[in-house]
Amino acid sequence: MRRKFQKWVESYQEDVWSLARYLLQDASEAEDETQEAFIKLWNQRKTIDPGRIKPWLLKVTRNACLDRLRRRRHITDVQTGDSHGPVAVAQRDEMGRWLKAAIADLEEPYRSLVVLRDVQQHSYEEVARITDLNMSQVKVYLHRARKQLREQLTEIRP
Amino acid sequence: MNNSPDKSSWEEKINALLDGELNEEQAKSLWAAAERDSALDGAINEAVELHRVVAKLQFNDMPRSLGRKLRQIPRQTSAHERSGFLQLRWGMVAATVLVALMITVSQVGPGEPSEAEIAQGRRDFNLTLTYLARASSRTSSQIASNIGRGFSAPVTRHTVRVISDQFKLNRE
Amino acid sequence: MNKWMIAVLTATLSLSAMAQQDELEELPGYVEFGELKSVYGEPKVMINIGGTLLNFMGAASKHDPEAAALLKNLQGVRINVYSTEGQTGPALEQLTKVKNMLQEQDWEPIVQVRETGEEVQIFMKVDGEAMQGLVVMAVDGDEAVFINIIGMIDPSQLAEVMEQFDVAVDL
């Protein structure tokens, strides 16, 4: 079982880390949540369908990150500014960095959907399972999220 | 996109294109429309470019130390579980030994047995002697034939006296 | 009562009994009778009286100095009685094993009675002028009796004490 677990770590650690990183925008917190997700996986390894380890991990990670964000928002609402907004970020010269910030600024579930589907390239079916949405909801919300990103990009482009 | 039949339908087709859900014919149709509509063409190119960039936006800055920590989870978790199990087990052993010592000390330690225990001890001792006497009485005839009827007579009633006498004989 | 409590109590009682057993096993007059429980089930009588309780019993017999003296010198009294219900074979086999063991350990045979399906064996362990132990084994169609009296035994005292305890031969 330990060998299997090591394989799961090798295969999924980047996706879990990246999802946590996108959602939390904080490396230290993302590290905590990544660890927590894999600890849960180890503890519940006997009850999880081996064929669904990845969606299970990402779902656990996403839920934990959203919980953390809710708590954090409660504390830092007052400090929320526009530092990640398109105008401010437009002055940055890297498209990638801007996009990461733009994705981070999306509301849920748009943000998770973009990360899971467009960044991590999971199938619609997996995304639906991870986010507890049905397929048509995933498609509709994801299309809206993409549109928002394109519109923001249009705004900052000269 | 002014000539487009419906802007929202183009949006859907662009998304389907990004998701690889258009078949060859549908894709050809979309690109043909884009050739005729520069706005549509711009929208498609922008979406594809954005999609391509986003697809490369995985955070690749996971600390190496985190990878090591993740790989150590089974060992650490199992050690923790073992530690908890051992604590529980040793706790049970300690509790058992403690109670046993308390009872043992109360029974055979320096403390005085209760009157009830002494009375029970006398009953047990009496029962033991009864079995002793009974066993001895069975042997009385054998003893009588060995050492003489006269000697065996008192033995029949108190066979332990027979043992005593036999002991004396052995000593001689 | 939960299973842990039962386990603790069982272990406690076992440890307590083991403590007394261990105390007796060290004595030269102690004899191990072996295992008959698997054949006949739990013994109908099982008595283990340790030296401490015997001493207190002696101290409690103030009106009978002989009994007090005897009990004071006794270190242990053990008896196991099994119902044989006509099946004497295993008990006789065990009796023979113990008899052979006692002979190897220089116990002195006092009485040996053998009849069909019945046998009585009495052994003494002697050290100088005093007995260190007494073993009585009796098997018949009703019972298998194994008695072990441990300690410095004065046989004349024992006879007096039997009178004092008003022992009835018939059970």
**pLDDT tens figures, A91-145:** 444 677 788 888 888 989 999 999 999 998 899 999 999 999 998 899 999 989 9
Cβ atoms of residues B23 and B14 within 8 Å: no
Residue B1 inside a domain? The answer is: no
Residue B22 inside a domain? The answer is: yes
pLDDT at residue B91 greater than cutoff 50: no
Using the Cβ of A104 and the Cβ atoms of chain B, whether some distance falls under 8 Å is answered with: no
What's the confidence (pLDDT) of residue C139?
92
pLDDT at residue A46 greater than cutoff 90: no
What's the confidence (pLDDT) of residue C6?
45
What CA–CA distance (Å, rounded) separates B117 from A92?
92
ipTM topping 0.95: no
Residue B85 inside a domain? The answer is: no
Residue A155 dihedral angles phi and psi, to the nearest 5°: -60, -40
The answer to whether B66 contacts A149, with C-beta atoms less than 8 Å apart, is no
Output the CA torsion C59→C61→C65→C70 (10° steps): -70
What's the confidence (pLDDT) of residue C171?
45
State the CATH class of domain A82-158. Answer: mainly alpha
Q: Which of A21, A114, A147 sits opposite B59 (nearest CB)?
A: A21
Q: How far is CA A157 from the centre of its chain?
A: 26
Residue B15 inside a domain? The answer is: yes
Q: Which helix H or strand E contains C119, and what residues bound it?
A: strand C118-127
What's the confidence (pLDDT) of residue C98?
93
Residue B102 inside a domain? The answer is: no
Average pLDDT across chain C, whole number? 77
- Stretch B100-106: mean pLDDT, rounded? 44
Domain that residue B16 falls in: 7-54
Q: Which residue of B70, B71, B78 to mutate against A (max A Cβ within 10 Å)?
A: B70
- Which subunits count as partners of chain A given 3+ CB pairs below 8 Å? B
- Stretch C38-64: mean pLDDT, rounded? 82
Using the Cβ of A50 and the Cβ atoms of chain B, whether some distance falls under 8 Å is answered with: no
Distances (CA, A) of C77 to A35, B41, C60, C121: 65, 107, 17, 17
- Which subunits count as partners of chain C given 3+ CB pairs below 8 Å? B
Question: Which chain C residue has the Cα nearest residue B134?
Answer: C169
Q: Of B162 and C72, which is predicted with more confidence? A: C72
Residue B103 inside a domain? The answer is: no
The answer to whether C53 contacts B135, with C-beta atoms less than 8 Å apart, is no
The answer to whether A17 contacts B62, with C-beta atoms less than 8 Å apart, is yes
User: Which residues in chain B have Cβ-Cβ distances shorter than 8 Å to C169?
Assistant: 130, 133-134, 137, 159
What CA–CA distance (Å, rounded) separates C58 from C72?
6
Residue type, B119: A
C with B: 3 or more CB pairs under 8 Å?
yes
Q: What CATH number was assigned to the domain covering residues A1-80? A: 1.10.1740.10
Domain boundaries along the sequence of chain A: 1-80, 82-158
Q: Which of C20, C111, C136 sits opposite B166 (nearest CB)?
A: C111
Burial class, C45, CB count within 10 angstroms (exposed 0-12 / middle 13-18 / buried 19+): middle
What CA–CA distance (Å, rounded) separates A87 from A83?
9
A with B: 3 or more CB pairs under 8 Å?
yes
